[in-house]
Amino acid sequence: MTVGRPRATVAAMAPYRPGKSLAMAADEYGFDLEAVAESAKLSSNENPYPPVPSVVAAIAAAAGDVNRYGDHRAAELREALGVWLGVDPERVATGCGSVGLLQQLFLAYVGPGDEVVYPWPSFEAYPVDVAITGGVEVAVPLVNHAFDLDAVANAVTPRAKLVVLANPNNPTGTAVHVDQIRGLLQQVPDDVLVVVDEAYREFATTNLGDPITELMPDYPNVVVLRTFSKAYGLAALRTGYAIADPSVVTQIDKVLIPFAVNHLAQVASLAAIEARDEARVIIDRLVSERDRVVDALRGYGWEIPDAHANFVWLPLGERTDEVFPALERRGVVVRPFPEVGIRVTIGTPAENDRFLEVLADLD
């Protein structure tokens, strides 16, 4: 029985499904977590390493301050981001993770019947926000696991409010250069926001250009989303930021849940900006592991797309539903996309070895 009268669009939604934890997998497949010596949670694209020591110390030192609300607008953090990125702080918004900012963009710009265009498969949060706001999804199929930006441009109708590009794309790990995004912008009306979700930017080792300096001066309808969750290892604290036209910042700030960027998140993010050179060492380690895993998979004969983020994509199609339980039963928990493929996060060298070893045993 349903109590109350939920909005039809919400009642019809499936519940959000986070990446499976090891405990959930152990439960589901009936294995003893303690007995699986080398289990690996490779399902949520998290950084397997803790933040650098100065960031951990800053969080610990601020723990006693949590009786007070933090600064709702995270003004000091917006200033610091502005200095770091060379943009006016009026162009900086902070939110409860970049998914929080994404939801703010939908709440501020997408009403019932408005279209939202994105390549697909892509980040699973996008259709959730479409459903929440009663918008209409226009999903443009990937070609060879990558964006077809001409097809994206052709899919933009007068009903479109947002175009969303995850670059690098989750789950396929493919990426486009800003020059290609410029080609899209030339074809899209300037009252459509083009959101470039760069959650994995820091892991890209080919030059993708920078949409903040190379696109935003000519195209004020570009919104760039970035996060401290992945490269900086702060997923649990929830800080994302957006760089956008000041008028966009004004609108999305109106729908920010009060104090959603909590005090510890602000303190940690400020410390992470200070210590970004140290974080780079961790990022480089993950990138070289990623390249090692890609080489190993190709060595086994797997045809996989180039990986630009902190995960690899196994485009298994129908075999997906047979391979992922086989991995998970042996303690390697991954992210399946039924009948499409499996996304595997880069973990520690031991976790990656475990994944490669289990996969090699499968056929």
Pick between residue 45 and residue 104 the one whose CB is nearest to ligand PLP: 45
Instruction: Work out which of 70, 127, 240, 336 binds ligand PLP, going by CB under 6 A.
Output: 240
Cα–Cα distance measured from residue 233 to residue 22, given in angstroms and rounded to the nearest whole number: 19
Site map (CB under 6 A) of ligand PLP, residues 92-131, x = contact:
-----xxx-----------------------x--------
Please report how close the Cβ of residue 142 comes to ligand PLP at its closest, in angstroms. 14
Q: Is the CB of 110 or the CB of 166 nearer to ligand PLP?
A: 166
Closest approach of Cβ 18 to ligand PLP, in Å? Answer: 11
Instruction: Show the tokens assigned to 178.
Output: 């800003």
Using rule CB under 6 A, residue 166 touches ligand PLP: yes
Spatial CA neighbour of 138 closest among 96, 110, 174, 99: 110
Q: How far is the CB of 333 from ligand PLP (least distance, A)?
A: 16
Rounded least distance, CB 221 to ligand PLP, Å: 19
Cβ-proximal residue to ligand PLP, closest one? 97
Assign residue 21 a region (left: φ > 0; alpha: ψ between -120 and 50; beta: otherwise): beta
Is position 199 an interface residue for ligand PLP (rule: CB under 6 A)? yes
3-state secondary structure of 309: coil
Backbone angles phi, psi at 262, to 5 degrees: -70, 165
Regarding 172 and contact with ligand PLP (CB under 6 A), the answer is: no
> Cβ closer to ligand PLP: 236 or 362?
236
The β-bridge partners of 92 are 243
Query: Of these, 39, 45, 345, 352, which contacts ligand PLP (CB under 6 A)?
Result: 45
Q: Does 352 interact with ligand PLP (rule: CB under 6 A)? A: no
C-alpha distance from residue 195 to each of 72, 81, 180, 248, 300 (Å): 24, 19, 14, 11, 37
Q: How far is the CB of 176 from ligand PLP (least distance, A)?
A: 14
Interacting span for ligand PLP (CB under 6 A) from 3-11, 91-99, 152-160, 289-297: 91-99
Sheet holding 341-345, edge to edge: 311-314, 341-345, 335-337
The first and second tokens of residue 102, run together, are 């994404």
310 binds ligand PLP (CB under 6 A): no
CB of 200 to ligand PLP, least distance (A): 7
Distance CA 346, CA 312 (A): 7
Judged by beta carbon, residue 216 or residue 237, the one nearer ligand PLP is 237
From 33, 101, 62, 2, select the one nearest 333 (Cα to Cα).
Answer: 33
Nearer to ligand PLP, 39 or 45 (CB): 45
Under rule CB under 6 A, residue 337 binds ligand PLP: no
CA 125 to mean position of chain CA atoms = 9
Q: Is the dihedral of CA 261, 263, 267, 268 positive or negative?
A: negative
Asked if residue 171 has a cis previous peptide bond (ω within 30° of 0), the answer is yes
Answer whether 334's CB lies under 8 Å from 324's CB.
Answer: yes
> Residue numbers of the site for ligand PLP (CB under 6 A)?
45, 97-99, 123, 166, 170, 197, 199, 227, 229-230, 235, 240
